Amino acid sequence: MSIAKTYNPKEAEEKWYAYWMENGFFRSTPDEREPYTIVMPPPNVTGVLHMGHMLNNTIQDVLIRRARMQGKNACWVAGTDHASIATEAKVVAMLKEQGIDKKSLTREDFLTHAWEWKEKYGGIILKQLEKLGASCDWERTKFTMDPDLSESVVDTFIKFYNAGYIYRGVRMVNWDPQGKTALSDEEVIRKEVNQKLYYIRYQVKDSDAYIIIATTRPETIMADSAICINPNDERYRHLKGKTVLVPLVNREIPVIEDEYVEMEFGTGCLKVTPAHDLNDYELGQKHNLEVIDILNDDGTLNEKAQILVGEDRFIARKKIAKMLEEVAQIEKIEDYKSQVGFSERTDAAIEPKLSMQWFCKMDKLAKPALEYVEDGTIKLIPEKFFASYKHWMENVKDWCISRQLWWGQRIPAWYNERNEWVVAKTEAEAIALFDEQGKTTVGIRQEDDVLDTWFSSGLWPMSVFDGVRHPENPEFNYYYPTNDLVTAPEILFFWVARMIIMGHDYTQKPPFRNVYLTGIVRDKLGRKMSKSLGNSPDPIALMEQYGTDGVRVGMLLSSPAGNDLMFDVSYCEQGRNFANKIWNAFRLVKGWETVETPATDAQKTAAKWFDSRFNQALVEIEGHFADYRLSDALMATYKLIWDDFCAWYLELVKPAYQAPIERETLDTVIGFFEKILALAHPFMPFLTEELWHDELFGAREAADCVIVAAYPTVAAFDETLIKEFDVVQQVISEVRSIRNNKGISPKVALPLAINATTIDFSKYQDSIIKLANIAEFSFVKEKVQGAVSFLAGKDECYVALENNIDVDAEKERIAKEIVYLEGFLITVDKKLSNERFVQNAKPEIIQNERNKKADAEAKIAILQESLASLG
């Protein structure tokens, strides 16, 4: 049966993904094999596939497919995260479009709408990952608000509370006015923004004197509780014990002294606003200042502001600045750049806010999680992220875990009419606890807040195997700890650290062994890809255009571990071309007719060389996988297939036009092709499966698929043969280059003479004659006068061109090459004469430079002789 002229990715992708699913190749259940487990970083249910997902999940799929082929029990657990803030915002927006205000709904009604939204949109990204070829065990798909996972979260809250890690109290928190919820420090993104610095006059009471305060936030002056000066500042000593009037509202506040104030910064005076700045709050606590919160949860001014009540904080800023100017209480306004915190989810500017919240003490919990990474139990790849991980763990702050939302796991705390509270799993248990404590159960109600999403996803590697509720569970004990986690560096502290913390607390084991941190996908200008910038291509459209295998290869070719990748669609084109190269090579082989004769010596030598080269490359590829350098592993695979197999081996054994090939040689080629398809499968699953089932390989059983074929293992290889063939390739390439440089047709056969002193070229003679189109092949002991000469390895080769050469042009070319090599020699000599270089460089680097010098000197000598022979 003939094979199509061109590869049809769409047809192959739909056919083989369905086939893999039908035959259960992705399914994993515990058995006697070594497990290899990956848990997918669960994408938000609000998400659709973007380039970061593409990179992350392609890497995971390569690792899981390779492990499956290595005979391991490969289990890749997929799932989605409920993403409290983002999802609630989506549902609120949907309801608004329907004319429904969230405030008009009960919690139960709102959650009904939220679950309907999740069922409709929450699985989109997982279906898109199927298009990518993700070989997850889809029967294990989890959602962070599945009943069993939610119960695990509640159990963990109670466990941590009873252990003394969780407490409730009023603290200054990061408040998101758009999401109307508290955030943890890690959910705040610091950005440099252009602002105005307002110099405001505060009148000293019973005086015409003013004190000038510089602030970027004039809208908060109504919340001022004091003016603070440094006690060592001579300029303001006269203000000690005085009071000043807050502009516009004329409220009297004291002047206090504290060395916290930097005399050199701004005007050397500080307005203290305890309700709206963390440092001011601590200063206020120290000096027993009044706390005046003038902002509503949505960022508008409340009644305590006295003026502009109901105005948005940023509109109020402009209006207050104008009002201050009108009463001559603005000294000046300057342009100013400063760091401002923004919500990681809604991108709203964060407000520091005093709020009653639930917190988790992190200091004791963090220590084992740091030790795992310090002692190498868990490896961060690349290691450059260890320093920031260590810094965060050593300086970790208590984690605000409560969120003022309805979508999520509700905190299992219960209050009575006196606002006394207990922590319990059910209302019945709460009543029993209140009774034990002799407290009333009248008006009992559950906490309204839900837990931070990261609290639930921190349990992910355990909860997906039901290891929190049932630690004796055989599945949990088989698959946990997992092997490799592939994720983005920006959630190292959000998620990775918390999984390690929770995993250790429950099991005294790490949740995984390796953390592969991918880079950020950027465009060729270095900008992070995003919808807002319009510089992010649609991954589905890319796969439609270039084929999924082409896009997978394109992503990985440009993605060294931990480094940002400058993505361009040209990489996908390169990936598609690679797929086409393999397809066309297969068509070439399939088109050969056979003859029942044994292979020639040249074909046998070529086969021995490629077998050695394959195993040599496999050692390199395995080394890259061991170091998690998947981009390098792919490039080594790419070169082996494109260069060694297609450009050299197939050309060496290819029969003459319309001539048959020896059956023995064709069988050898087919065997190599099968190994190449197995090697390439993790990177290019669809193309390899399509070719694997071609009749050229004979009849296959239903389960005989490349997805579960044995991954190639390293066998012995002949290094001497590889080195000799490197020289043979050099001979062929040099003869081709001479033809090209001299404008001689490839069809013109040329004579070749070799002064062989290191290699027995006779066993490669037929290959050289065939690929270099040699008319006469000879061995000489003397120099061939009038011939173009070159070095192959350490052996001198001669090509007599006779009438095929322009003598003057050749002399000019040789002279230019001599000048170039002499310049190169000067550079090398400078390096070798530099004592500092010789003393500090590694011995192999110094030897490499000496080898360069020797090679250049030998080439110059040959070129000078060639020049002399031309007269």
User: Nearest 5°: phi and psi at 169?
Assistant: -175, 165
CA-nearest of 2, 203, 107, 13 to 687 is: 13
What are the structural domains, with CATH classification, of the chain? 31-164+363-398+449-518 (3.40.50.620), 181-351 (3.90.740.10), 417-446 (no CATH), 539-717 (1.10.730.10), 718-805 (3.30.2320), 807-871 (1.10.287)
Assess whether pLDDT exceeds 70 at residue 804.
no
Structure tokens at 652: 């060496």
Please report where in the chains the tokens 């200063």 appear, as a residue: 283
Give the pLDDT band (50/70/90) at residue 77: very high
Assess whether pLDDT exceeds 90 at residue 806.
no
Average pLDDT score over residue span 552-566? 79
The alpha carbon of 777 is separated from its chain's Cα centroid by a whole number of angstroms, namely: 54
User: Nearest 5°: phi and psi at 309?
Assistant: -60, 130
Give the residues across from 660 on adjacent strands.
none
pLDDT per residue as tens digits for the range 250-295: 999 999 999 999 888 878 899 999 999 989 999 999 999 999 999 9
**CA 587 to each of CA 7, 639, 858: distance values in angstroms, whole numbers, following the listed order:** 10, 20, 44
Q: H or E element: which one contains 182?
A: strand 181-183
Q: State the Cα–Cα distance between residues 301 and 309, nearest whole angstrom.
A: 5
- pLDDT of 264 reads 83
Structure tokens at 831: 């390096």
Q: State the Cα–Cα distance between residues 372 and 501, nearest whole angstrom.
A: 10
- pLDDT of 562 reads 56
Please report where in the chains the tokens 């929190």 appear, as a residue: 468
b or e along 523-548 (b: 16 or more beta carbons within 10 Å of the residue's beta carbon)? beeeeebeeeeebbbebbebbebbbb
Q: Is the pTM of this model over 0.75?
A: yes
DSSP state of 44: B
- pLDDT of 265 reads 80
- pLDDT of 521 reads 80
DSSP assignment string, 404-470: S-SSSPBP-EEE-TT--EEE-SSHHHHHHHHHHTT---TT-EE---EE-HHHHHTTHHHHTTTTTT-
Identity at 732, one-letter amino acid code: I
DSSP assignment string, 510-576: -S-SEEEE---EE-TTSPBP-TTTT----HHHHHHHH-HHHHHHHHHHT--TTS-EE--HHHHHHHH
pLDDT per residue as tens digits for the range 359-368: 999 999 999 9
Q: State the Cα–Cα distance between residues 524 and 624, nearest whole angstrom.
A: 26
Give the pLDDT band (50/70/90) at residue 817: confident
Q: State the Cα–Cα distance between residues 117 and 102, nearest whole angstrom.
A: 15
658: left (phi over 0), alpha (psi -120 to 50) or beta: left
- pLDDT of 41 reads 95
CA-nearest of 35, 55, 56 to 486 is: 56
- pLDDT of 365 reads 96
Assess whether pLDDT exceeds 80 at residue 561.
no
Structure tokens at 105: 């709904």
The alpha carbon of 771 is separated from its chain's Cα centroid by a whole number of angstroms, namely: 44
- pLDDT of 485 reads 97
Q: State the Cα–Cα distance between residues 148 and 415, nearest whole angstrom.
A: 25
425 annotated as a binding-site residue: no
Range with the poorest average pLDDT among 183-192, 218-227, 398-407, 584-593: 183-192
Share of the chain above pLDDT 90, in %: 76
192: left (phi over 0), alpha (psi -120 to 50) or beta: beta
Give the residues across from 796 on adjacent strands.
755, 791
Q: Which segments of 36-99 does DSSP mark as H helices, in order?
A: 51-69, 84-97
Structure tokens at 218: 């004039």
Q: State the Cα–Cα distance between residues 493 and 514, nearest whole angstrom.
A: 16
The alpha carbon of 190 is separated from its chain's Cα centroid by a whole number of angstroms, namely: 21
Q: Which segments of 133-259 does DSSP mark as H helices, in order?
A: 147-162
